[in-house]
Amino acid sequence: MGRKLVSLAIAIGVMGVRPAQAEPAVFGGIDVRTDLGTQWMRAGAAVEIGRLSFDAIVDPYGYWTREQHDSEVLAGWALWPAGWSLMGGWRVSSLPLLGTRYYQEKAILGLAAPLSALPLRHLRARIGFEWAVTLVRHGPDLPTFWLWQEDELHGGSFNLGLVLRLEAGGAL
Amino acid sequence: MIRGRRTSLFALLLLAACDRRPQAILMCHNSNCAHATDPAADDTLASLEDSLALTYLGRPPIDGVEIDTLWDSERSLCLFAHDFDKPVDELAMDAVDRVTEHMLGAGAITWDGVAFRVKIESKAAVTPGGADHSADDLAAHQACVLDMVDRLLEAAVAGDRELEILLEGEDIQFVRSLTAHSRWPGKDPGEGLAIRLEANVKSAGLAPDDLVSLTGGDKPDGIDVLAFHSTRFPDGQQQAYEALDVDLMLWMLDASLETFYAAEVYHPEYVNTSEAVLLRRWMED
Amino acid sequence: MRLHLLFSILLAAAPATARADASDDVDHDWHTGLNLRTDTGTHRVRLDAGLRLGQVDVTAVLDPKVFIDRRQNDTDLVAEYMFRPDGWAAMAGWRLTQISIDRGTQFHHMLLLGVTGGLPHFLEVVVPRFGFEFEANVLRHGDGLEADTLSLASERDYLDLVSFNLFLRFDYAGEI
């Protein structure tokens, strides 16, 4: 009886496991958020290889207007194919401050997931839920603060963010 | 500026649970804070009179008032107005006269019983088409603002009132140039009197050495206060300024929920609102 | 005992991965869970509870933080028209926020319009959804305060009173 149960369990487990997508895929699109952590719309590109994903997000509007601009790179690992991913990465925020630029270096941790299918085949929507911690603030002629040197954790030390990514692309 | 003590997790949790309402100097935005928000009534003598007469629990809910000035280049008039859309001409000096009358009256004129604040904001356009100040326009507008300052200082002395005047310009160089004027009385013109320069967090023309005056140091033409809005732009700048302990003024069109949140997070020195009783009751809760 | 444990673990793991592509096809009658948002107008973590009535899902969102912080209470009632079960939906609803002020309360009434979409499920019974909403603060009133309704007369009348928000729901769902 025991051997039968083992066999049955193994069979069910194997049936449930889908092979990871082997073909790399590339996507490009827009990154939209409504909290004030970055500009409300930025541009991003993503590469997926199996369960690994890499995102780079840039801020054309911020660069063009010389206002706050945020650029980041993220790496993700899908917990299961087409499922939730754990994400981690780095964001550099550049702010116009007192006539110079002030930089905030942020570590990002979060989750990402695909949304329901869109009508057009090469379009997809994803969401991201992130927690960004400002590790250091620095800039020319301005004080430098490391996270552990701040005597109180200001509103900007930790940022929660929700982001919607609308992208076009597909397998290479 | 950099301190070595680390915040404990316990303190963080306590802070999260406390959720204290901040106390700030309450300014009457565009001289219009006595009724439900109505931008059409901004910078009018009627709204100013209602705002100065406003009371809550028997005392003024405000600590100061904002007066906008507009130099009309075509008619050489220094107007009390937010923009050229105002249907009726009212002069900036008439607005100042209402304020000085208030300061010379009896009784409390602020909630906290300390200095009365008058913010004078000078608009950048001199024509309905948005033309910039010429050299003559600049001289005339500066003269108007300095006339207002002189009249307010005289009234403060005569009425034995403490007074703080905040000078802001859409063009930051306008307020800096006032400090170079021969009639400039200085940032500390007398006992209980102070003049501070204000800009916006997004103003062009700020410099790293403004940080000295923004955090309470002495710089004769330094900007002393920075104004910000709760939702207009990404919040990196106000977060950075708050971390640098800069004196901030939170301004708003309406007291939205995001405004209350910004007041709690950034602990601004000043709040500039058209809903004075609401904000006072929010702070006093 | 070890066999039973192994059997249970594998059986539990299978549905978690099998869910990956079938998230649009699972239906349920009720759901309850966490409503999360990062915008600053409402409390960031609230509880929601909803019922599925045909193609319409009605959800109430309640604010348990009011028991810790009595100063703000955000309550929503929203309806979603599901184009597919656990797929995209059109959303409309109402939010009432109460703000505690000295000697009274201020009330903010918000109209909500939006779109929601389904996310990959966890273990078949945790049904996350993501939402994008337009919020208009249409009425503000309170004890001893003048009522203020939303005006579209000029940008300065409405700019502070309208916003776009994103939210995330992690709900446990089941059938009646």
DSSP one-letter string for B80-145: E-SSTT-SS--BHHHHHHHHHHHHHSSS--SSSSS-EEEEEEE-S-SSTT-PPP-HHHHHHHHHHH
What's the one-letter identity of residue B31? S
DSSP code string of C118-150: E---BTTTEEEEEEEEEEEEEEEEETTEEEEE-
What pLDDT is stored for residue C21 in this prediction?
Answer: 39
Q: Which residues of chain B make contact with A161, given a CB cutoff of 8 A?
A: none
Q: How many domains does chain B divide into?
A: 1
Structure tokens at B255: 């007291």
Best A34, A36, A150, A153 residue to mutate vs chain B (most B CBs within 10 Å): A36
The percent of chain C in helix, strand and coil, each rounded to the nearest 5, is: 15, 55, 30
Say if residue C131 is exposed, middle or buried (CB neighbours under 10 Å; 0-12, 13-18, 19+).
Answer: buried
- What sign for the dihedral angle of Cα A141, A147, A149, A155? positive
Chain A positions in Cβ-Cβ contact with residue C14 (cut-off 8 Å): 12-13, 15-17
Mean pLDDT, to the nearest integer, of C36-43?
93
How many Å lie between the alpha carbon of B233 and the closest alpha carbon of chain C?
12
- How many residues comprise chain C? 176
On whether residue B168 sits in a domain, the answer given is yes
Give chain A positions within 8 Å (CB) of C43: none
> Which partners does chain A have (≥3 C-beta pairs < 8 Å)?
B, C
Determine, yes or no, domain membership for B11.
no
Rounded to a whole number, what is the distance in Å from the CA of A116 to chain C's nearest CA?
A: 5
Q: Is residue B29 situated within a structural domain? A: yes
Q: Over chain C, what is the mean pLDDT?
A: 86
Give the pLDDT of chain A (172 residues) as one tens digit per residue.
555 445 444 443 333 333 345 689 999 999 999 999 999 999 999 999 999 999 999 999 999 999 999 999 999 999 988 889 999 999 999 999 999 999 999 999 999 999 998 988 899 999 999 999 999 999 999 999 998 887 666 556 788 999 999 999 998 8
Which residue in chain A has the smallest CA separation from B222? A98
φ, ψ of residue B210 to 5 degrees: the values are -65, -20
Give residue B270's domain range: 22-284
- Residue B1's pLDDT is 32
Total domains in chain C come to 1
Q: Say if residue C18's pLDDT is above 50.
A: no
How buried is C176 (Cβ within 10 angstroms: 0-12 exposed, 13-18 middle, 19+ buried)? exposed
CA distances from A164 to B149, C131, C151, C170 (A): 51, 9, 30, 17
Residue of C nearest to A85 (CA): C120
Q: What is the mean pLDDT of residues C51-78?
A: 93
The C-alpha angle B63, B66, B71, rounded to 5 degrees, equals 160
Q: Could you give the percent of chain C with pLDDT greater than 70?
A: 85
Whether the predicted pLDDT of C176 surpasses 90: no
Mean pLDDT confidence for B78-107: 96
Angle between helices B45-53 and B92-104 (to 10 degrees): 20
Q: What are the residues whose beta carbons fall under 8 Å from the beta carbon of B111, sequence distance 6 or more? A: B26, B59, B60, B61, B62, B63, B280
What 3 state SS string does B52-68 have? HHCCECCECCCCEEEEE
Higher pLDDT, B242 or B52: B52
Model confidence at B85: pLDDT above 90: yes
Are residues A19 and A50 in contact, defined by beta-carbon separation less than 8 angstroms? no
- Residue B1 in domain: no
Average per-residue pLDDT for chain B: 92
Tokens at A92, concatenated = 């550099």
User: B134-138, C68-72, C126-130 — which is least confidently predicted?
Assistant: C68-72
* A59 secondary structure, DSSP code: -
Cα–Cα dist A25/A87, whole Å: 18
Alpha-carbon span B125 to C6, nearest angstrom = 77
DSSP annotation of B30: G
User: A162 to chain C: which residues are within 8 Å by CB?
Assistant: 36-38, 166-168
List the single best residue of A8, A115, A124, A165 to mutate versus C (max C Cβ within 10 A).
A115
For residue C136, what is the domain's CATH number? 2.40.160.20
Residues of B whose CB is below 8 A from A158: none
Q: pLDDT tens-digit profile of B237-249?
A: 988 998 899 999 9
Residue-wise burial string across A97-130, b where 16 or more C-beta atoms lie within 10 A, e elsewhere? bbeeebbbbbebebbbbbbbbeeeeeebbbbbbb
Alpha-carbon gap, residue B53 to B83, rounded angstroms: 25
Question: What are the chain A neighbours of B3 within 8 Å (beta carbons)?
Answer: 149-151
> Looking at chain C, which subunits does it touch, using at least 3 CB pairs closer than 8 Å as the criterion?
A, B
Longest dimension (CA), chain C: 73
Please list every residue in chain C whose beta carbon sits closer than 8 Å to the beta carbon of residue A85: none
Side-chain-side CA neighbours of residue A10 (13 Å):
7
CB hemisphere CA count around B56 (13 angstroms)? 25
Q: CB of B249 within 8 A of CB of C72?
A: no
Residue ranges and CATH numbers for the domains of chain A are 21-171 (2.40.160)
Q: Provide the residue range defining the domain that includes C169.
A: 2-174
**Taking CA atoms, what residue in A is nearest to B264?**
A155
Test B278 with C144 for CB contact under 8 angstroms: no
Residue C6: its chain A contacts at CB < 8 A? Answer: 6, 9
Q: Which residue in chain A is spatially nearest to B5 when comparing CA positions? A: A151
* pLDDT more than 90, % of chain A: 70
E strands, chain A, are 25-32, 41-49, 52-58, 69-78, 85-97, 100-114, 123-139, 142-146, 158-171
Question: Considering only residues 222 to 261 of chain B, which have any Cβ-Cβ distance to chain C shorter than 8 Å?
Answer: 230-231, 252-254, 256-261
Host H or E run for residue C4: helix C2-18
Question: How large a percentage of chain B has pLDDT more than 90?
Answer: 84
Averaged pLDDT for residues B38-45: 95
pLDDT in tens, B5-29: 344 444 444 554 455 689 999 999 9
| CATH number, position B121 | 3.20.20.190
Distance between CA B278 and CA A132 in Å, rounded?
Answer: 34
**Chain segment B124-134, per-residue pLDDT in tens:** 999 999 999 99
Q: What is the predicted pLDDT for the residue at B261?
A: 94
pLDDT tens-digit series, residues C100-147: 999 999 999 999 999 999 999 988 889 999 999 999 999 999 999 999
- Which are the contacts of B263, defined by CB distance < 8 A and separation ≥ 6? B21, B22, B24, B250, B271
Q: Which residue from B177, B118, B168 is spatially nearest to B142, judged by alpha carbons?
A: B177
- Does the pLDDT of residue B43 top 60, yes or no? yes
Q: Do A35 and C20 touch (CB under 8 A)?
A: no
How many Cβ atoms are within 10 Å of C159's Cβ, its own excluded? 17
Q: What is the DSSP letter of B40?
A: G
Q: What radius of gyration, in Å, describes the C-alpha atoms of chain B?
A: 19
Cβ proximity of C57 and C51 under 8 Å: yes
Nearest CA in chain C to A112: C119
How far is B29 from B163, CA to CA, in rounded Å? Answer: 18
| Structural domain includes residue B201 | yes
pLDDT for the residue C122:
85
Look at residue C93 and tell me whether its pLDDT is greater than 60.
Answer: yes
Q: DSSP code of C166? A: E
Task: Name the neighbours of B, counting chains with at least 3 Cβ pairs within 8 A.
Answer: A, C
Residue B94 has pLDDT above 60, yes or no: yes
Contact in structure between B22 and B285 (CB atoms under 8 Å): no
- Residue of C71, C102, C164 to mutate when probing chain B, most B C-beta within 10 A: C102
